[in-house]
């Protein structure tokens, strides 16, 4: 059963999506350390990527809503006991699809119960702030300064990174470090942190324990915020936890109130923040109507999202009435699309024009926002691609440059009938970009968020898992 949480004035409302194998948990953490132990068998968890179809930039505003869809592309975390080490507190994290992606950590007490646990990387090589911070925050939340020796293996579904032509294996290995890989903009860091957080909690808590869904979300938000050095809107972590949703952000003050891990109030504040239900946040379940499919096309470039966001927010702050008018009009058009999808899902009449006109209206205002702010939210090359697909491929409803825009993967909605999907994939495969052609990613929209997986489902990649002969 998959419990989805939405916020209202009276608190979070849980709704059952009816999905099997998905986390549905309900105790107040943390358990006494004497009850915490490593599971003797592998623990596998996955979390989805995202596409922000509507709400780029405006979703940073607590008064605005965004439309975010979870994707079938997931990041997986598998925890296993490390049989090659007997050192308490030794945690090995590996991402075997990339070169030199092994991080070894020694976890220990900080010497002050109020401070976070000490997590120190003990091997040479680049650090990974998302892994390190997630370990520190999650183990501090559990009050577990000396976990049993454990290996955490991270695997990313292929659509997260630009790939060579098929055929390629399920989890393709790329011949370079992670930092050199071309990301496609699916929210890899949020899916990683959410998957890793959930896997650690499952692996070290007693098997009889359960945790409320908001614990996963709040703890992952806190870790992700600290790792990237700022409080983002959080829609990516929300989608990774709860699945496809209409999202309204939480107040940034919730996370900025958490002190640094070396502060004597860190653990207490972290636990209070994670255990609370953030009732001002909205995360209402939504899916695409059954008549509509989703395809994303990798243009093999990628964008520097933080720099673009900083520029747009600076423009809004200094732009006066004109910038506010554009902002409000874009939010209104985003709301029109959300309302249309909800109406169709509730049994209202479906016409492709109902969605097509609303996507076109959003794109028009996004381009105006980009022009006024001096940011290529929808670059000219992306505009040509989106317009050509909609006009040349029958059944294509429309496309957007999702999220913050730029050169991340584009997103198309199409009618699920006949050969529309095949024709769109063929069109994209023939569209020339700087690094070759547009590659249609092997993914779709799905409703569910983070979930526990069966370890035997990773049998084909068991060689990745240290010390495990069989799964």
Q: What is the mean pLDDT of residues 154-171?
A: 92
Q: Would residue 18 be called left, alpha or beta, if left means φ above 0 and alpha means ψ between -120 and 50 degrees?
A: left
Distance (Å, whole) CA 204 – CA 198: 10
Residue 138 has pLDDT above 60, yes or no: yes
Residue 295 in 3-state DSSP?
Answer: strand
pLDDT for 459 equals: 75
Residue 22 has pLDDT above 70, yes or no: no
Distance (Å, whole) CA 147 – CA 405: 41
Strand ranges, E, within 299-425: 396-400, 410-415
pLDDT for 341 equals: 98
Residue 174 has pLDDT above 80, yes or no: yes
pLDDT tens readout for residues 59-93: 999 999 999 999 999 999 999 998 878 899 999 99
Q: Which strands sit side by side in the sheet containing 292-298, from one edge to the other?
A: 396-400, 410-415, 292-298, 439-440
**Closest residue by Cα to residue 271 from 139, 409, 111:** 139
Q: What is the mean pLDDT of residues 398-419?
A: 96
Q: What is the mean pLDDT of residues 421-445?
A: 94
- Cα–Cα–Cα angle for 15, 249, 261, rounded to 5 degrees: 105
Q: What is the mean pLDDT of residues 277-301?
A: 95
* DSSP H or E run through 94: strand 90-94
Across the chain, mean pLDDT equals 89
Question: Domains along the chain?
Answer: 3-285+447-464 (3.30.230.10), 292-444 (3.30.70.890)
Residue 21 has pLDDT above 90, yes or no: no
Phi and psi for 425 in degrees, rounded to 5? -60, -40
Residue 354 has pLDDT above 60, yes or no: yes
pLDDT for 40 equals: 74
pTM greater than 0.85 (yes/no):
yes
* pLDDT range class, residue 458, cuts 50, 70, 90: confident
Give the DSSP letter of residue 256.
H
pLDDT for 466 equals: 57
pLDDT for 66 equals: 98
Distance (Å, whole) CA 424 – CA 396: 8
pLDDT tens readout for residues 95-130: 999 999 999 999 999 999 899 999 999 999 899 999
**Closest residue by Cα to residue 385 from 460, 440, 336, 337:** 440
Residue 50 in 3-state DSSP?
Answer: strand
């Amino acid at each position: 059963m998959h419990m989805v949480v939405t916020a209202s004035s009276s608190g979070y409302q849980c709704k059952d999506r009816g999905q099997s194998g998905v986390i549905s948990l309900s105790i107040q953490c943390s358990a006494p350390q004497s009850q915490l132990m490593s599971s003797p068998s592998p623990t596998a968890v996955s979390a989805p990527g995202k596409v922000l179809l509507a709400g780029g930039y405006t979703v940073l505003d607590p008064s605005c809503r965004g439309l975010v869809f979870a994707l079938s592309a997931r990041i997986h975390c598998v925890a296993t006991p490390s049989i090659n080490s007997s050192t308490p507190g030794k945690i090995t994290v590996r991402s075997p699809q990339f070169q030199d992606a092994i991080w070894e950590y020694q976890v220990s007490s900080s010497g002050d119960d109020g401070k976070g646990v000490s997590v120190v990387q003990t091997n040479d090589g680049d650090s990974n702030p998302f892994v390190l911070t997630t370990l520190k925050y999650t183990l501090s939340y559990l009050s577990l300064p000396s976990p049993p020796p454990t290996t955490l293996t991270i695997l990313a579904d292929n659509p997260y990174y630009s790939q060579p032509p098929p055929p390629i294996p399920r989890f393709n290995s790329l011949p370079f470090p992670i930092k050199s890989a071309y990301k496609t903009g699916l929210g890899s860091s949020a899916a990683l942190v959410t998957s890793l957080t959930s896997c650690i909690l499952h692996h070290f808590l007693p098997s009889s324990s359960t945790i409320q869904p908001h614990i996963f979300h709040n703890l992952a938000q806190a870790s992700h915020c600290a790792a990237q050095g700022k409080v983002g809107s959080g829609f990516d972590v929300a989608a990774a936890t709860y699945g496809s949703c209409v999202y309204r952000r939480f107040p940034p003050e919730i996370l900025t109130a958490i002190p640094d891990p070396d502060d004597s109030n860190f653990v207490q504040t972290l636990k209070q923040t994670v255990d609370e239900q953030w009732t001002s946040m909205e995360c209402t379940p939504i899916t695409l109507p059954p008549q509509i499919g989703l395809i994303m096309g990798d243009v093999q470039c990628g964008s520097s999202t933080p720099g673009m966001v900083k520029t747009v927010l600076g423009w809004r702050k200094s732009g006066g009435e004109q910038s506010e008018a554009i902002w409000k009009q874009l939010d209104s058009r985003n709301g029109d699309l959300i309302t249309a999808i909800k109406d169709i899902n509730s049994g209202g009449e479906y016409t492709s024009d109902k969605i097509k006109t609303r996507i076109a209206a959003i794109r028009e205002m996004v381009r105006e926002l980009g022009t006024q702010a001096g940011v290529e939210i929808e670059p000219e090359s992306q505009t040509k691609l989106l317009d050509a697909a909609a006009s040349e491929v029958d059944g294509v409803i429309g496309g957007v440059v999702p999220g913050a825009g730029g050169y991340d993967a584009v997103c198309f909605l199409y009618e699920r009938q006949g050969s529309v999907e095949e024709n769109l994939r063929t069109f994209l495969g023939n569209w020339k970009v700087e690094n070759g052609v547009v590659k249609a990613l092997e993914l779709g929209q799905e409703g569910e968020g983070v979930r526990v997986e069966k370890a035997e489902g990773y049998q084909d990649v068991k060689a990745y898992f240290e010390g495990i002969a069989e799964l």
